[in-house]
Structure 1
C-alpha cells in the first residue's frame, strides 16, 4: 500500500476540510486514482458525502497510489487535518504521503516554509556554524565582512497526522443515499445572510418554546433531509436525520426564482422571502429533451404558471441547528445550488 503526492491547491483543500469539520469530527477519506471522497456519518445529525477530482487539489504528475483494491480507505480527524493544511498556505512545495511510525499509520504533510532574514543571520559565520541559526558560540568573533542584506531562508516542516486504515470489507456496505428527481432547483442567496436569518429564526423559536415549558420543545415528528452543494471542483451531498434538538425551519422554493424561509410555533410565525433568484438549467447531456420535460421541476414550473402562485412550491422542514452547520460550507464556495423535493433538500 502506497500513497504520495504533491499538493496543487492547498487553500481549496484547507477550505474543504474546514467546511467538513463544522459538520463532523471523524471523516472517512477514500483515495482513488481519479477522485478523492470524503464521508462523514455521525450517530445522529448531518451526513456528508463529498467528492473532488484528484487534479483539483493534487498534482497529477506526482500522484502515486498503490493498493490491491485500487483505493485506500482512511479514517482521519478532519479538524487535525485542517490545522495541518493551514500551515501549507503560501508554501512553494507541499507533499502528502502515507507512512508509519511504530506500527501506527500516519499521514505526513511536509511543507517547505520560507522566511526572510537580515544581516549575518542569513550567512554561515562563527556564531552560526551550520548556517541555520541553531548553534551559537558567544565567544567567537562576529563576521564583519559578510553581506548584511536580506536573505531567504527555507525550512522543511513535517506534520504527522494519526489515521486508521480501513479494510475494504469495512466500508463496502456504505453507500450514498439515493434522492428522487428534484421538484425545484435554485441558486441560494448569499449564504452568510441566509445563515444569519436562519440562526435568528431558530433562536426566536427556541426562546418561545422555553417560555412555555421547561427545555426545548420537541419537534412534531422526526424527519430526514439532505443537502448537496458544489463548487471549486467539489461535489458534496449531506443527508441529515432530525436530532429533535432544535426547532424546525420550513424552507420552500419554486421554479420562478423565489425562496421562502419560515418558522412557526403556537405563539409566532415569521418568514423571509427572496425573489429574482436563478433557477439554473439542468445538463441537457444527461437526458433527452422529452425526459427533461417530464421532470418534477419542469412540471412544477408549468403547474405554477397555470394553477397559481402556491401550487408549484417544494417545501421541506429541516432541523435549525443542522441547517446552520450545513450553511457553513460557504467558506468553500459562495454559490450553492439547492434541489428540493418532498421531504428532501439536496
Structure 2
C-alpha cells in the first residue's frame, strides 16, 4: 500500500480535523476516487449518535499524489484526530512544505507528516494508524434522511449562534432548534428552572426539491410560518458548531422531529469540499 502527497491546504485540513475532534477522538480516513473522506461516529450507532462525514476533493488538499493498494487503489485507515492536528501544527508559515506518506516501522503502519521550512530543517511526526480492508467497510454508509422540511443558510450569524449555545449548555442538557420558511431560526431551552429563547430572522431560505414548492398561494403563506423543530444534546450541538471557524457558511437543515443536518462549506475551497454533521432528534 502506498500513499505520498504534498499538502496544499494544511490550515484548512487542520481546522476540519480540530472541529471534528471535539466530538470524537478517532476517525476513519478513506482515500478513493479522487476523494479524501473523513468519517467519525460512535462504534455503536444509537438514536443519539451524531455522525460526521467530511468530503474533501483530493486535489483541493494535495498535489503530486501517488496512490497504490491491492483494494483498487483505495486506502482506508483509522487514526487519532488529536495526533493529526498536532502534526499539522508544525506548519507555521505559508512557505512551509508539508508532505505526507504511509510508512512502516517493522509491522506497525504510520502516517508520516513532514514539514520543511526555509529557516529550519525538516520536522517529522509519525501518526500510528490502523489499516482497514475495503470489505470491512461494506456496512458503513452515510445516513439517509428525508428531504429537510426547512433549510436556512447562515453566514456571520453562526458565531452568535455558537455563543448562545455556549450559554445555554450551562443551563440544560437539551436544546430545541426550530425554523420556518420565512427565514427564522429559534434556539430555546425550557425546564423547571428557566425558559429562554433566541431568534434570528431574515435568513436565506434554501429550496430543496418539491418539499418546499406549493401550488396554492395561501398555503404557501401558512407554510412560511410553520415551525419545524428538533431536540438535540446541548454539548454536542456546541461542539458541532465549533467547525464554524473553518467555514465560510453553514446550512441548517431540519427534518421535523427527526434530524438536524449541518452542511458546512469550507473557507478557501469550492462547494465540492464540505462537511456534513447528522444529529438525530432526541425523544424526551
Using the size of structure 2 for normalisation, the TM-score is: 0.83
> How far apart, in 1, do the equivalents of 2:231 and 2:250 lie?
19
Report whether the alignment pairs 1:164 with 2:130: yes
Out of 309, 326, 333, the position equivalent to 2:247 is: 333
8 Å contact 2:29–2:37 — kept in the other structure? yes
| TM-fit CA distance, 1:13 | 1.1
- What is the aligned partner in structure 1 of residue 184 from structure 2? 258
8 Å contact 2:182–2:224 — kept in the other structure? no
- What is the aligned partner in structure 2 of residue 41 from structure 1? 41
Paired positions, count: 253
- What is the aligned partner in structure 2 of residue 193 from structure 1? 160
- What is the aligned partner in structure 1 of residue 271 from structure 2? none
| TM-fit CA distance, 1:297 | 2.8
Query: Structure 2 vs 1, CA of residues 309 and 298 (structure 1 numbering), >3 Å: closer, same or farther?
Result: closer
> How far apart, in 2, do the equivalents of 1:331 and 1:159 lie?
25
List gaps (5 residues or longer) in structure 2.
262-284
> How far apart, in 2, do the equivalents of 1:301 and 1:99 lie?
62
Q: Deviations over 1:250-286 (max 9, x none)?
A: 101111111111111134321111111111345xxxx
| TM-fit CA distance, 1:303 | 6.7
Using the size of structure 1 for normalisation, the TM-score is: 0.68
> How far apart, in 2, do the equivalents of 1:113 and 1:163 lie?
26
Out of 187, 201, 212, the position equivalent to 1:297 is: 212
- What is the aligned partner in structure 2 of residue 317 from structure 1? 231
Report whether the alignment pairs 1:279 with 2:205: yes
Query: Structure 2 vs 1, CA of residues 301 and 338 (structure 1 numbering), >3 Å: closer, same or farther?
Result: farther
Q: Deviations over 1:145-204 (max 9, x none)?
A: xxxxxxxxx412211111110112221111111011111110135222112211222322
**1:28 aligned counterpart, secondary structure:** strand
How big is the alpha-carbon RMSD for the aligned residues of Structure 1 and Structure 2?
A: 2.1
> How far apart, in 2, do the equivalents of 1:98 and 1:300 lie?
56
Q: Deviations over 1:37-57 (max 9, x none)?
A: 101112464221111000111
8 Å contact 1:250–1:318 — kept in the other structure? yes
| TM-fit CA distance, 1:111 | 1.2
> How far apart, in 2, do the equivalents of 1:272 and 1:74 lie?
41
**1:63 aligned counterpart, secondary structure:** strand
8 Å contact 2:252–2:260 — kept in the other structure? yes
8 Å contact 1:255–1:301 — kept in the other structure? no
> How far apart, in 2, do the equivalents of 1:74 and 1:109 lie?
15
| TM-fit CA distance, 1:304 | 6.2
> How far apart, in 2, do the equivalents of 1:78 and 1:309 lie?
41
Query: Structure 2 vs 1, CA of residues 23 and 299 (structure 1 numbering), >3 Å: closer, same or farther?
Result: farther
> How far apart, in 1, do the equivalents of 2:202 and 2:196 lie?
21
- Which of 1 and 2 has greater Rg? 1
